[in-house]
Structure 1
């Protein structure tokens, strides 16, 4: 829900500077907490506690974007995927064949494989609690005060595996008085969203908050084989919290959240005719599909169920002197049942389903210090997590591929049933700290470090079965091992910033990041013996130079130039294998390996220009130059033939905001937004068919606010030109299957939103 308790006529006068400061303000080590707005002439600032003390974003020497409820309303941000154009260097979308599993990259660093045992490169957090798995992490904006995007390694202050950056959801706090928020949205494809939240005192020093949300929409396409919908939405979420504040120094907060996703599988485009189909049907192969969502899936399992929940106990002490303390104890668990019909056709050529589970327990202790010249935080982080499951592969092969010379015999002669199962146990321990010391009134030195130790144990049993129900093993075992490995790492950070006059901040920093290694759950030790070996951790060394400047009371310009040295990059690649020994690839498995090393150069620019109360311009631009320095495949360095995935060279957004006072009726505020993203390879195989050319998008929002400010009516339009753009896909031709599919972003949608604050 969006909280507008302080809403007043002239919504745009307050919203635009706030949005610009939050969206365009580059700066923060850690995660900012918005407390208030501080006027500086024509522009207002967000005051944050990014480094555990209050300061404006223009004073903090690192890169961060923060959007609160009002900015999300005018920007049309309803889920994490909508943030992509609103934060520099960010790529985020729903994973292949799933609706609520997130794929996130920041500054070219991330991970697209969501299987258990594989670590994400961008940390996702819910109120300081790290979400170890990407399933269920593409959250809706339910009862969210703000969302923060931190760019670059964040380990000295925050969480685990934040080698590329971090994204954090911050829930609405509890007020001293009873507050009720209601919201609904009706839109294209029969969209029906409903949200409600209530915050109220329960007694002396005891407060509670409950929020519930239902998000439903018809499908963007249909399964023409069964008539069922695809790419629909049936997602339900809730959060409840109770907080005890015995005095001004202490608070104890117990919170529980849950997400249930019952959406159908995602629609996909068949981008090539499947030449295996005629051997099943006797008819010509289904042609390449001209619709980006419609499918012909014949696989019985079309489930996409996701259950994700967590409980957190947070104890906070704010001392009367220089010290403070916070303890965060959290438990999260999830269960995910997902299916992929790779060939998107009616026959059992390549159908895969599986169940994943995860369970994580974490504990974090933080000590904060704030003095006249020295400020900082240090602490201890521990996590114990188990993730596992099973993946069931069903491959059907025609006679022609098994016994040449019998091409005219219709029907599959060989059905291969492969099974991957097991679990990965992770125990992570980290000591971290980050201090800032004022050398002079205008110059400060920051020092930080994080010591990590990670222990992993993988139990893997991959084998073949003789029946479709996977009840009769056929004796063919492709992997059976129980292995463990440990890694240690120290990631330092050093920064220097200087206030050049009252309007300009200059800063420079060096930081390192670490992402855990692991084991390939899909290992095939028969055909690829080395797939049993653990892959190495990733490491990044990042150099950054930046400035933040208010060139006038109406114009702000911020920029950051960075260089990242990226080592032991973890990549997931589908590889063909010959399971029958006839010399032909008749199956495939997901290989997971360290590709080598790369370097990423980048420039981020953010600006805001507010010449009047009725018009303003804001936006951001990112230039990325990413290339491999080493990429060893089959003993040969092929770095010059490779390219980074999910890393557009150029991306930018231009927002035009307009405000129209309607006399005593209220205010009308509008935003027209144009964004562009350059060419990108979504997949590690660098498929030229799945490759997405540069594209642009238009979004617009109009918001009416009455004089009371107690409700808002917004009309939003997304992808107004109905641009067709792929977010990801599969190309399985190298594994012997003539299968190429593409998954697309949302089509043009319109929605009418009504929000009340009582």
Structure 2
């Protein structure tokens, strides 16, 4: 414990003495010329352009400088440095977003997220296509609390708004090359050029590759590799002084191995079976455990294309924007679910999606001396297909039958397939029923539509006081189909048919039909054409805000806002349906600047009530079945504090501090399964405290350029466990390790830029202290195969970077 405190103290002192981080903190950025100048940051959090300090919303802005300084390549690389926002990116096609303790981590197409991700105002409905490579990003606005009125459906927890750079009328270009540990290679290029007097073209692309930082203990294969590339082409046409159109095409291509499962049950050389039931007292620390990956067809891939068309026109007294978007993507994620290389407990799952969506929005905005206003309508259509695929072998069915007492219940004195194979061998019959694939799959099809009309008005009551009222009406319509047939075992069926034809079962007491067994995962059959359900949900989400300028540099505000998330369906539970979510958030805060001291201080206090919150959880299973991920609901409440501060005590030296505190509990929740647990009044698992600290220092070297030293530190407190935490695997204390312990991370960077800003060199280290944590235990196969497995965080990594700009 003392060593941990010493390391924490070292990290904090390192940051606060100048090895801190050069990034945009929420609020404004202090300009470089003098310590007293404050540079205004413009944002579009309220669907119109405003100064960040005038927006009565708790939010944090990440600009391109932060992205460059910390070598962030996607949203997941910012995890921990925006307190209150958690991004789990272990599987880039199935990420998880959380704001203020609210998240929906279901990967099924029947469920929508609670955190909306928007790129240039276009909603990324599916998480599988939201964690994309950063590609020419201008800034990222993280809005905390319900954003239903301004951003729309499925932003009940908040919104992440990504703004990309647009074509400009001047020529410029950029080339960035990054190399580093574990075979890291990263290339980024951008070219912006005018074409005549009315056209501008911007082309950019990135390519990223690494070997991975885990090796298979049996084969030596590199695991957790990365390989992806992305590109964008955008063309802006100035049709007249009042009208312009921007057409863009985005492509993202990901092709790599899926995340490995790190087994925490010790497996000795030559061992062929796993002790059952799993004993937590024998768990080994996954940070030191051997890793085995025997998945057949191991793959995580994504191909995405998106076309956007933005048309802007100024009428004089009002502005108009038409936003049109078409998006299509396909993803595959086949993962190991047992963490061993033993065929007797082999189990893998795959999530396979194909998705096409269309979005259209018409928005008008304007301002007078007394009001600022924005209003619009939107339409969204999505067609989605999903396959939830699982694989094991007949060896695994034998293991299940033995572990769960199925063979004993049927009066069979041995594992069915292995015992029969042994008997056949004794008779000299060369037929084996082992090693034969067993596949089960659930097929889903979704046809979704959403209509919305919205408006937001800021009424300037006087020079100091504003009253804001916003309203959004939304209608969601969903048609959803489940299709599930018998499991697929063609090799086994052929072998059994051959034995039947040979007359084996006339002399054998077990009938042939017993070998075809029943489904073990998707146990509810559907008609051949599938089972279809259809429903719709309506919602009206209001927003009220009162803000008051105590003086030109200090604003206080209070707000009441409602958030909404549409109802839906559990993709792997036939005929399941749940209603929409609603959240009411009450908040008061202050935004302040002290120019003479170079200080920015923003803070807010909030309380929310969340009704019918949807969450994906692991049920406790039933006899003869693999435990399933199901959607359950709960009512929650929370209060918290967000503080964002920046101080520039000296020229070229800036300190940053961001803190989030939350107390989140279940108002009402009972777990699903055969042994339900009442969690009412217990914590939801969210830590009380998360924080980030940073500092940056710049040396001006005249004609020799500039030298910058920066660092950033992130802290997340210990998870607050409840009675169901151990089963869910996100909060538990084991003999050799802990899940949900408090975490810290320190990153540092040293860079040099030439005097004319055309050339730069930098070196960086992430996770300087080399702290690794157990991020979770997966228990999907613990109570059946006896094979729980874990995931861990990244080790320390270093890299070198060169940039060329002309």
If the TM-score is normalised by the length of the shorter chain, which range does it land in? Answer: 0.7 to 0.9
1:30 corresponds in structure 2 to none
Name which of 578, 581, 598 aligns with 1:535: 578
How far is 1:639 from its partner? 2.3
- Does residue 437 in structure 1 map to residue 459 in structure 2? yes
Alignment of 1:130-141 (within 5 A): 130-141=123-134
2:644 corresponds in structure 1 to 606
1:241 corresponds in structure 2 to 234
How far is 1:599 from its partner? 0.4
| Native 8 Å contact 1:558 1:607 kept in 2 | yes
Higher Cα Rg: structure 1 or 2?
2
Compared with structure 1, are the counterparts of its residues 456 and 236 closer, same or farther at alpha carbon in structure 2 (3 Å cutoff)?
same
Alignment of 1:283-682 (within 5 A): 288=284, 290-291=286-287, 295-320=291-316, 322-348=317-343, 349=345, 350-395=347-392, 396-397=396-397, 398=399, 400-401=402-403, 402-404=406-408, 411=418, 417-467=439-489, 478-480=524-526, 481-523=531-573, 532-553=575-596, 554-578=598-622, 584-594=623-633, 596-633=634-671, 638-640=678-680, 642-645=682-685, 647-680=686-719
2:161 corresponds in structure 1 to 168
How far is 1:544 from its partner? 0.7
Compared with structure 1, are the counterparts of its residues 576 and 393 closer, same or farther at alpha carbon in structure 2 (3 Å cutoff)?
farther
Deviations 1:291-333 (A, max 9, x none): 468631222121111112211111111222x211111111111
Q: Structure 2: how far apart are the matches of 1:408 and 1:100?
A: 38
Q: Structure 2: how far apart are the matches of 1:622 and 1:371?
A: 37
| Native 8 Å contact 1:157 1:377 kept in 2 | no
Compared with structure 1, are the counterparts of its residues 54 and 129 closer, same or farther at alpha carbon in structure 2 (3 Å cutoff)?
closer
| Native 8 Å contact 2:20 2:696 kept in 1 | no
| Native 8 Å contact 1:465 1:474 kept in 2 | no
Deviations 1:199-248 (A, max 9, x none): 11223311211111110011111233444321110011011111111122
Name which of 687, 690, 694 aligns with 2:742: 694
1:742 corresponds in structure 2 to 790
2:68 corresponds in structure 1 to 73
Q: Structure 2: how far apart are the matches of 1:470 and 1:423?
A: 29
Compared with structure 1, are the counterparts of its residues 521 and 51 closer, same or farther at alpha carbon in structure 2 (3 Å cutoff)?
closer
1:101 corresponds in structure 2 to 94
1:91 corresponds in structure 2 to 86
Q: Under a length normalisation based on structure 2, what TM-score does the superposition of the two structures give?
A: 0.83
More strand by share: 1
Query: SS of 1:569's equivalent?
Result: strand
Deviations 1:123-162 (A, max 9, x none): 1112111111111422222211112211111121224311
Q: Structure 2: how far apart are the matches of 1:188 and 1:203?
A: 44
Task: Name the Cα RMSD after superposition.
Answer: 3.2
Q: Structure 2: how far apart are the matches of 1:412 and 1:228?
A: 35
Query: SS of 1:628's equivalent?
Result: strand
Q: Structure 2: how far apart are the matches of 1:684 and 1:695?
A: 19
Query: SS of 1:313's equivalent?
Result: strand
How far is 1:621 from its partner? 0.5
| Native 8 Å contact 1:19 1:67 kept in 2 | no
Deviations 1:33-72 (A, max 9, x none): x9x9999933322133444554321122112222222232
Where do 5+ consecutive residues of structure 2 fail to align? 1-18, 421-433, 495-515
2:768 corresponds in structure 1 to 720
Q: Structure 2: how far apart are the matches of 1:81 and 1:44?
A: 28
How far is 1:616 from its partner? 2.1
How far is 1:673 from its partner? 1.8
Moved more, 632-641 or 377-386: 632-641
Moved more, 732-741 or 555-564: 732-741
How far is 1:412 from its partner? 8.6
Q: Structure 2: how far apart are the matches of 1:90 and 1:283?
A: 39
Q: Structure 1: how far apart are the matches of 2:267 and 2:612?
A: 36
Query: SS of 1:632's equivalent?
Result: coil
| Native 8 Å contact 2:208 2:229 kept in 1 | yes
Compared with structure 1, are the counterparts of its residues 292 and 483 closer, same or farther at alpha carbon in structure 2 (3 Å cutoff)?
farther
| Native 8 Å contact 1:37 1:47 kept in 2 | no
Q: Under a length normalisation based on structure 1, what TM-score does the superposition of the two structures give?
A: 0.88
Query: SS of 1:247's equivalent?
Result: coil
| Native 8 Å contact 1:37 1:46 kept in 2 | no
Compared with structure 1, are the counterparts of its residues 408 and 418 closer, same or farther at alpha carbon in structure 2 (3 Å cutoff)?
closer
Q: Structure 1: how far apart are the matches of 2:361 and 2:253?
A: 27
Query: SS of 1:610's equivalent?
Result: strand
How far is 1:462 from its partner? 2.3
Name which of 156, 172, 182 aligns with 2:175: 182
Q: Structure 2: how far apart are the matches of 1:659 and 1:536?
A: 54
Compared with structure 1, are the counterparts of its residues 18 and 695 closer, same or farther at alpha carbon in structure 2 (3 Å cutoff)?
closer
Q: Structure 2: how far apart are the matches of 1:77 and 1:156?
A: 30
Deviations 1:92-143 (A, max 9, x none): 1214xx2343211011112112222221111111211111111142222221
Deviations 1:413-466 (A, max 9, x none): 897532211212211111111110000110000000111111111100123314
Q: Structure 1: how far apart are the matches of 2:620 and 2:275?
A: 26
| Native 8 Å contact 2:617 2:728 kept in 1 | yes
Where do 5+ consecutive residues of structure 1 fail to align? 1-15, 27-33, 525-531, 579-583
Q: Structure 2: how far apart are the matches of 1:282 and 1:496?
A: 62
Alignment of 1:197-276 (within 5 A): 197-273=190-266
1:24 corresponds in structure 2 to 26
More helix by share: 2
State the structure with bigger RCO (CA 8 A, min sep 6), 1 or 2.
2
Compared with structure 1, are the counterparts of its residues 655 and 704 closer, same or farther at alpha carbon in structure 2 (3 Å cutoff)?
same
How far is 1:372 from its partner? 1.0
| Native 8 Å contact 2:776 2:791 kept in 1 | yes
Q: Structure 2: how far apart are the matches of 1:38 and 1:517?
A: 52
Aligned length: 717
How far is 1:685 from its partner? 5.8
| Native 8 Å contact 1:99 1:231 kept in 2 | no
Moved more, 37-46 or 72-81: 37-46
Q: Structure 2: how far apart are the matches of 1:64 and 1:616?
A: 20
Q: Structure 2: how far apart are the matches of 1:672 and 1:754?
A: 19
How far is 1:552 from its partner? 4.8
Q: Structure 2: how far apart are the matches of 1:373 and 1:253?
A: 32
| Native 8 Å contact 2:32 2:652 kept in 1 | no
Compared with structure 1, are the counterparts of its residues 122 and 684 closer, same or farther at alpha carbon in structure 2 (3 Å cutoff)?
farther
| Native 8 Å contact 2:20 2:694 kept in 1 | no
